[in-house]
Structure 1
Amino acid sequence: MKVTRIVTNVDTRDIAAAKCFYQDVLGLDLLMDHGWIRTYGSPGEMNIQISFASEGGSRTPTPDLSIEVDDVHVAYERMTRAGFQIEYGPVDEPWGVRRFYVRDPFGKLINILAHE
């Protein structure tokens, strides 16, 4: 298993406020918009992304960090084997990802996901 992408999430009730600063002023592209989350970044390798969310989707809390991996099953096994408590999932979400939530050692809610 290898990490393929890490995405940070900013919890906000005013998702639209990000457009002016991140898209209009900084020139990032709107890469994804599900209504409850908008992700801005660069096309291609997507090395830079920042998301603004009012929830984590599926009525879950907004995670502090999203980490995309190439194999969610392997990541899940490694987390449980290491003794980290899974707080949600693994689950196949309607927007095309398989994911689970886990707390890191600092109490941050981490969304581990893979696009299907």
Structure 2
Amino acid sequence: MKQILFIVAAFCCMANVFSQTVSTTKKQIKMKLNAGIITEKLPETKIFYTKTLGFGITFENEFYLLLHTPDKAAEISFLLPDHPSQQPLFQKPFQGQGMYLTIEVDDVDKIYQDLKQKGIKIEIDIRNEPWGDRHFAIKDPNGIGIDIVKYSPVKK
């Protein structure tokens, strides 16, 4: 009986140490995501994101453009295709399908009105969803759908 209690106690201690190690390890991992799009349309993309959406330029050279949101909370990058400085994995251009971006904002109605006044084509008109989102969508010069949304809890 003492052996069984000892084994159970040892197992519990080891499980506790393991769970602390795993949670400590998780806390130490720091990640930052930067989506990148390979496109021939660097000038048009730069104008769209800076003039239309108010993004800033973090870094730019003749083949690469790194932009940040107005509050600098997130970044997105654009790269010319077939650039000799890049490995083959990063050379094929985006084909304009199968990708979207979501931009969460505090005042979706204001941004909707601002973009309409700028003459930006609205792809999906502003609407309320049953799950609480209020959003609309536009497209960037590369054909990427951009969902501009205000997340809200569902009203019951």
Q: Shorter-chain TM-score: what band?
A: 0.3 to 0.5
Q: Which entry has the higher C-alpha Rg, 1 or 2?
A: 2
With normalisation by structure 2, the TM-score equals 0.34
Structure (1 or 2) with the greater helix fraction: 2
Structure (1 or 2) with the greater strand fraction: 1
